[in-house]
Amino acid sequence: MWYMIIALFIWASSFTVGKMAYTAFDPVMTVQLRLLIASLFVLPIFIKTYFKLEKKLKIRLFYLAILNFPIALLLQFIGLKYTSASSAVTIVGAEPLFMLIIGSLFFAQKNHWYDWALGVLAFIGILLLVIGGNSDGTVSVFGSALVVLAELSFVFSIFFGKNIMQQMDASTYTSAILTLGAITCLPFTLVLNQNWQMPTDWQPIGAVLYLGVACSWLAYWLFNKGLQHTPTKVSAMLIPLEPVLGVLCAMVALGERMSFLTGFGVVLVIIATVSSAILHSRQ
C-alpha cells in the first residue's frame, strides 16, 4: 500500500514542481524534456518489442500516443501556466468521475444514479473553484478550461487504449506510448515553444528531471508494484488522495492560498471523488 501512496504523492506534486520549472522553462519545453527523459528509461524495451508488433497495432499506438501525451499533457501543463497548482490538481483529481461520465455518454457504459449525482457535485465544485479563484486572480478560467480539456483527452485515450492494452503486456504498452509520445511531441514543441534558452539555475533543471524520472517513470513503477499486493477496493480508496496531497503540496511549497469559495469548491470535488471511490469499492 505504501508503494501506491508514494506514487500518488509523486503525481500530486507534479503541478507544484511544474510551477518551479516554469521559472526558466516554457511549459511546452517542460513537457518535451519530461517525455524525452522518461523515454530513456523505457527505450531498451521499446526497441526490443515495438518493431515486432503488427502494422495496424503500431498505427493505433501512434495515434494513441499523440492523444495521450502531446495533446493531453501539453493542454494540462499549458493550462497550469495560467492557473494555480491547487486548482489544476483538484480538476485532475476528478478524473474518475470524468471517466464515468464519458464512458456513459460515448462508450455505452452503465452508471448508477449516484455517479451522475456525484458528477454534478464535482462540476459544481470545479465551477466554484474557478469563480472564487478568478475573482482574486489565483485561478484562471482559461487555464482551468485547458486542464479540463486535458483530462477529457486523457480519459478518451484510456477508453481507446483498452483494446490495445489487452493485446500486449504493460511494459510493452508503456514503453511504446512514452517513446512515441516523446517523438510526436517534437513538432508541437518546434511550433509552440517560446523560450529556447537553457537555464543554468539548478531549481528548474531539477524540476524537469523530477518530472521526467519521478512523475513519468518511477511513480508508474511504484503504483504497479503496489497494485500487485493491494486489494482492488483499497486501491480505489487510495486514488482520491491525489488531489488532497496535491493541494497540500502547493500550499506548503508554493505558498498558495485559497479564498473561501475556492476552498469550498475544492472540498466539493474531493468529497465527490472520495464518495465515488467508496461506493464503487462496495460493489
**Structural domain tally of the chain?**
1
Residue 173 has a pLDDT of 86
Neighbours of 2 (CB within 10 A): 10
Distance CA 272, CA 1 (A): 23
- State pLDDT tens for residues 136-160: 788 899 999 999 999 999 889 888 8
Residue 236 has a pLDDT of 59
Question: What's the sign of the alpha-carbon dihedral 126, 129, 132, 135?
Answer: negative
Domain that holds residue 250: 2-281
b/e burial code for range 163-202 (CB count within 10 A of at least 16 → b) = ebeeebeeebbbbbbbbbbbbbbeebbeebbeeeeeeeee
In this prediction the pTM is 0.88
